[in-house]
Amino acid sequence: MGDSIENGAVENQLLELAKSKPEGVSNKDLKDHLPDVPLADITRIINKCLRSGILELFQTKDSLLYKYKDPSQKVASKGADSEEKVVYKIIEEAGNKGIWIRDIRFKSNLNMTQLNKVLKSLETKKFIKAVKSVSASKKKVYMLYELEPDSSVTGGAWYQDQDFESEFVDVLNQQCHRYLVQKFEDALTQGGGPLLIRNRSYATAGDVHQFISDLGISKVSLSITDIESILYTVVLDNNAERIVAPNGSFVYKAVNRFLPPQGIVKTTCGVCLIANRCASTGLINPKVCTYLTDWLNE
């Protein structure tokens, strides 16, 4: 799911580039504007857009060009009636976060019977799709058929069929902490001054992402952003610290927990409000303390 989210972002960038170049986008343009995206991912996204009709392929004397085709033109060319065009336009404006049926009804001024008929027709023609939202189990939002839903709709990698995968998150939390601890122990083994050991102990989210990927414990593809959110839970658990690196990104290091409480704190004497008045003689003394006797007999 993580890959779907990242590819959705790349697709949006690609389409924005195509919109800005009505004469067409070349492979060189794609390489210049998306230098960090693997060629295989770009090719897959382009093929998807070509199949859905958002992009059209043209052969020039020198190269291939990809031209953006307004999806609303596709609806018009398929003989959609005026009501379908209105509803389609409203859904298109909602982007990959989608729009609830009540909001569509409000903006279109259609009664519910008419609106349901239009939505059914657009879904059948694969112009739009309904996606369940994690924010409400019975709530569906509508978006264009070719769009990848935003993580705010699907819940991202931590949700499966709208259920939060708490065990999966716990496992990732433990493994991320394990990696940071190993990184810290390796730094100690290598030796050097305290500052050098400290610097060697830090890991980037990319380092941890590679470790989790190599373990193969995730059934879904996780992005670096997903791993960063897990690392933040490790920080909140007081098992790691996070600082800003010189390049502006975060780096993480395992830390020792707070010192465990001393044994005396765990006894009744450790929490007794009148312990300062307790002595070997007198009315308040350990020999007649029922709380201490009960604690010793537990």
**Where exactly are the structural domains of the chain?**
2-69, 72-156, 165-254, 265-297
Where does the pLDDT of residue 182 fall: very low under 50, low under 70, confident under 90, or very high at 90 and above? very high
- CB distance 55 to 18 below 8 Å: yes
More confident site: 37 or 137: 37
Class of domain 72-156: mainly alpha
- CB distance 24 to 66 below 8 Å: yes
Mean pLDDT of the chain: 80
Bridge partners, 65 (sequence order): 58
Collapsing DSSP to helix, strand or coil, 24 comes out as: coil
Q: Do domains 2-69 and 72-156 have the same CATH topology?
A: yes
Per-residue pLDDT, 234: 92
User: What is the C-alpha separation between 265 and 267, in angstroms, rounded?
Assistant: 6
User: What is the C-alpha separation between 139 and 131, in angstroms, rounded?
Assistant: 9
Where does the pLDDT of residue 1 fall: very low under 50, low under 70, confident under 90, or very high at 90 and above? very low
What mean pLDDT do residues 10-23 have? 82
Collapsing DSSP to helix, strand or coil, 87 comes out as: helix
- Residue identified by tokens 């002595």 is 279
Query: How many residues in the chain?
Result: 298
User: What is the C-alpha separation between 171 and 173, in angstroms, rounded?
Assistant: 5
Query: pLDDT, tens digit, for every residue of 199-231?
Result: 899 999 999 999 998 888 877 778 888 899 899
User: What is the C-alpha separation between 268 and 273, in angstroms, rounded?
Assistant: 10
CATH 1.10.10.10 fits 165-254, yes or no: yes
Level-2 CATH architecture, domain 2-69: Orthogonal Bundle (1.10)
> How many CB atoms neighbour CB 222 within 10 A?
22
What mean pLDDT do residues 133-156 have? 73
User: What is the C-alpha separation between 105 and 89, in angstroms, rounded?
Assistant: 13
User: What is the C-alpha separation between 143 and 211, in angstroms, rounded?
Assistant: 36
Query: pLDDT, tens digit, for every residue of 184-198?
Result: 999 888 888 888 888
User: What is the C-alpha separation between 156 and 181, in angstroms, rounded?
Assistant: 27
